[in-house]
Amino acid sequence: MADESLTITDNRTQKTYTVPIEKGTVRAMDLRQIKTGPDDFGLMTYDPAFMNTASCKSAITYLDGDAGILRYRGYPIEQLAENCTFLEVAYLLLHGELPTETELEKWNSEIMYHSLIHENVKSFMGGFHYDAHPMGILMSTVAALATFYPESRNIHDPASRRLQTVRLVGKMPTLAAFAYRHRLGMPYIYPDPDLGYTRNYMNMLWKRTEPKYAANDVLARALEVLFILHADHEQNCSTSTMRAVGSSTADPYATAAAAIAALSGPLHGGANEEVLHMLHLIGEKQNIPAYIQSVKDGKHKLMGFGHRVYKNYDPRARIIKQVASEVFEVTGRNPKIDIALELEKIALSDEYFIKRKLYPNVDFYSGIIYEAMGFNPDQFTVLFGIPRTVGWLAQWQEMLQDPEQKIARPRQVYIGPDSRDFVPMWQRGKTQTVNA
């Protein structure tokens, strides 16, 4: 067998070092021994935006960006999307194995039992302005849950961790639905555990004066599949935030609120909302070439395209495309799909996108489906956040139980001024150039 090690020669000192290679990685701390002298701090790696740094070992999600593969706990995403309910996948992600029938039944009722929220959360939510962005409401109310469950600080107690986990997974749809109805000025609909996770969510969103709201089967299944596809995606921006904030041993609600904040950014989960705005802006197929040209001229990005890890087609986008056609059978075709398909066709044959390996990501088609189902664009990222909470919590638990993990604290390369003496105000002159 080949020697699993790396030999490095430091040309500054002519010294040679051998460091082990484990699972295709070298430990950054092994480089610290490489010094020019006893006073030298030792060699570090410099990796802005973590382009080539593994921050943890994880057994949750496997992703091969070049091959377009995504698996949860070893199971291909395509098989899970076809055969499972969302809560079944949630169980898999959080426990490591698919549930038996009895386990799933218990899990479903446990999660649904925790779908109710404290009445005070409701009044707290009532304080938001009528047009507050739902992600802002979700982020704040999730953080506020910590004040309702102060025992959640016991993050080293497995029973407490489990309780907060089922609470968060159970309450997310309720918080999201209340945020939605708050905006419309509609009365809140309380959870109905008998309906199950997604149908209950749809009921809380859309029930009006009818005695019983009946979710359409195709739409309910579409939402279930979309939730499965969004449940985890290894060390993305919001999950890394969950791990980083959680590593300070903050409670899970504050930690999840931080992850929601990361998700809200347009380069991450907020992209689905931006895609819709972009398609609206393009308006007609005939405007596409000019829009593509403006992207290539660097005026803006083609939202919903590109991914840090996938340099081949995002497997989730392929499934979503299929879901879209099923949804349109019920809702009628969303005309934005034609613009999206044409954009994809042109982009995939254009040298600019081919060279940079830019393909549609999960956000490119999801918004078109959500819009057809009746969601406003500002709800789209919330629809991402509900299922991703499961992934965040699975990764948070894994991080807390990993003996190698400590508080996340990267190093920096200092490029500021050397030591200099304080200048009194009267000697500083009238104007100064300051980098804000």
Closer to ligand ACO by Cβ: residue 256 or 358: 358
Task: Give least dist CB 6 to ligand ACO, A.
Answer: 26
Closer to ligand ACO by Cβ: residue 148 or 352: 352
Closer to ligand ACO by Cβ: residue 107 or 305: 305
Cite the active site residues.
268, 307, 363
Closer to ligand ACO by Cβ: residue 117 or 225: 225
- What angle do the packed helices 362-373 and 336-349 form, to 10 degrees? 170
**Nearest residue (beta carbon) to ligand ACO:** 306
Name the token pair of 24.
């295709």
Task: Give least dist CB 394 to ligand ACO, A.
Answer: 17
Closer to ligand ACO by Cβ: residue 178 or 291: 291
Closer to ligand ACO by Cβ: residue 98 or 261: 261
Task: Give least dist CB 384 to ligand ACO, A.
Answer: 7
- The number of CA neighbours under 13 Å toward the Cβ of 133 is 14
Task: Give least dist CB 55 to ligand ACO, A.
Answer: 16
Closer to ligand ACO by Cβ: residue 86 or 353: 353
Binding residues vs ligand ACO (CB under 6 A): 236, 267-269, 271, 295, 301-308, 356, 358, 361-363
Strand-pair category, 15-20 with 5-10: antiparallel
Task: Give least dist CB 370 to ligand ACO, A.
Answer: 14
Task: Give least dist CB 316 to ligand ACO, A.
Answer: 9
